[in-house]
Structure 1
């Protein structure tokens, strides 16, 4: 069964919209774990429009499941933040300044040497590394030579095409996952996975380790409640 890591960025967005500390990010993280989530994900950005750097330190003190910090490793402040907090996993995403949300994976061929160097920084600190990639076999093959422990498949294209042709939508992800598994890489996935498309994805991706879900899960929680929503997502992975 793939593990569910809840991305709590949207909780921080709601808090920041009014200032203060409501909703309380630490309490929400604790509740997510209590309700069954097997990990907590945050994605701090330089403008701190949702997760603030201080939040990462606060969460590190209380998260008892897997703590996953994702973000742009080309920002030295991000690198320093991760090293200072020693999460179980860091996910490296090729964001650019001001980007609304992550929208592409690494070119693991063009950035091969850079990725080798930065991945070694985190692995030398004992932190498991995952890198964000598109479902392209050549990119998976090149990822396998960077030293990364895992890849995270960027699933926006799958989610976009699922309702029109789910078999075509899943096909490149199956091939990418098979390649990654053969090369000894762990497999994570995330972006636009939800209650409609998650089960089919999990059933068809071999050796799927973890999914990271934020926007859809938090949105569903407005209707179903947080505890019930987390249980609903866990059932999709069973």
Structure 2
């Protein structure tokens, strides 16, 4: 296991801090959007009344033929009609349909994937082949209750970073299995049986695990992107 240079260590620390900043801020963004959304669901009459003032929302329809698929907008002879009159009374019932939690989970999974890939390029640059992600040896259908399977996941977790599987705790391997399971179900089956806070916690824990795996002399990873009211984050 080659020793990291100071340049590599600095790059790993910077990329980790940058990702944590994005993730922690996104959690607030998610929470704010969810609060506004849920408030609109509860106060649906107020929302409907507001929409009746200027009718800012439009309906979308499709009229496709074999000959009009070249262009999108119906104004250009295309098949998408995106400026249809819409009764504001039809809007509140659609609020429940937006997959806030699943879409947010999919987004931070992409951030985690990119983070891991970037670190692999720093510490093990010849490992990944084209279209291959750092987590490709950990599968969502692995049995987290089987010790041999979890050990295989530990090895699959660590190998891209040129580290032994013993450096990955069993709980961390199980977290990555769960991340892959939830992500695959959403992307391939359209279902989501987790919550964003749970998925977020698993992703945050995985980031920390990767960091400590690559930086064994580090004892703490701490970051808070907002004003420190209680002097906890110095």
TM class by shorter chain equals under 0.3
Q: Which has the larger radius of gyration?
A: 2
User: What TM-score comes out, normalization by structure 2 length?
Assistant: 0.23
